[in-house]
Amino acid sequence: MLNFSSFSISARSISAVRVGVYLLFISLLFPFSAYSDQVQTHDKNVTQYKLLVLGDSLSAAYGLRAEQGWVSLLQDYWNEANKPIEVINAAISGDTTDGGLARLPRLLELHQPTHLYIELGGNNGLQGHRPKKIKDNLAQMIELAKQNDIAVILQEIQIPTNYGRRYTQLFTQNYHQLAQEYGVPLVPFFLEEIALDSSLMQNDGIHPTAQAQPMIVEFLAPKLAPLIVQGAQNLGG
């Protein structure tokens, strides 16, 4: 016959086990809680401006690793310079102004940026879309951002001249007209000089290489930072 008395545990032993389990739970809990609080405090103290990049493959590090792309490098650059700017990359390879317009409401709700950088239209142009349709889509994006008190920065886009002089002129004029009509800053096309050097372009002749990405940052960083601060001040930020 089994002697069940040999399996009995005193009340003191049970209490000791309970205390040990409780202390183990606390020791596991607090390191994670402290880390979470530290991250939230860091974001709150450092990030003053939030830049949402709405773009296509030129901003999505096409053919490269994400960390090699100019958007990621721009964030690294501003971090090292202690700039209180967070960069959110919402660029998707192959995207058009139609896709960007469809995605924008959700992106604004999700990220609540202070600034919107629009780098779209290249794929529309390469597909021969009507310039007026491209302009209308861009205009709606600008209006949506302004309705939400978000400062807009418009990126000029250029397409190859083999699409015909009239079409390429109408295409590029869209960006200059929109900048003037809505009073938003227009950033010159960042590949205008880079595209002239074939060694800085991938085999397709459209997308910049990894070597060209830091050059894009050098071109854009001194232009974007003042616009972000100025844009926030104009909105009362």
Question: Which residues form the catalytic set?
Answer: 57, 204, 207
**Rounded Cα distance, 208 and 191, in Å:** 8
171: Cβ contacts below 8 Å, ≥ 6 apart:
121, 125, 131, 134, 157, 158, 159, 163
**Rounded Cα distance, 111 and 222, in Å:** 24
Residue 123 parent element (H or E)? helix 122-126
182: Cβ contacts below 8 Å, ≥ 6 apart:
139, 142, 143, 146, 152
**Rounded Cα distance, 96 and 120, in Å:** 6
- Written as one string, the DSSP assignment of 34-57 is HHHHHHHHHHHHH--EEEEEEE-T
**Rounded Cα distance, 51 and 20, in Å:** 48
Provide the angle, in degrees to the nearest 10, between the axes of the packed helices 131-147 and 165-182: 20
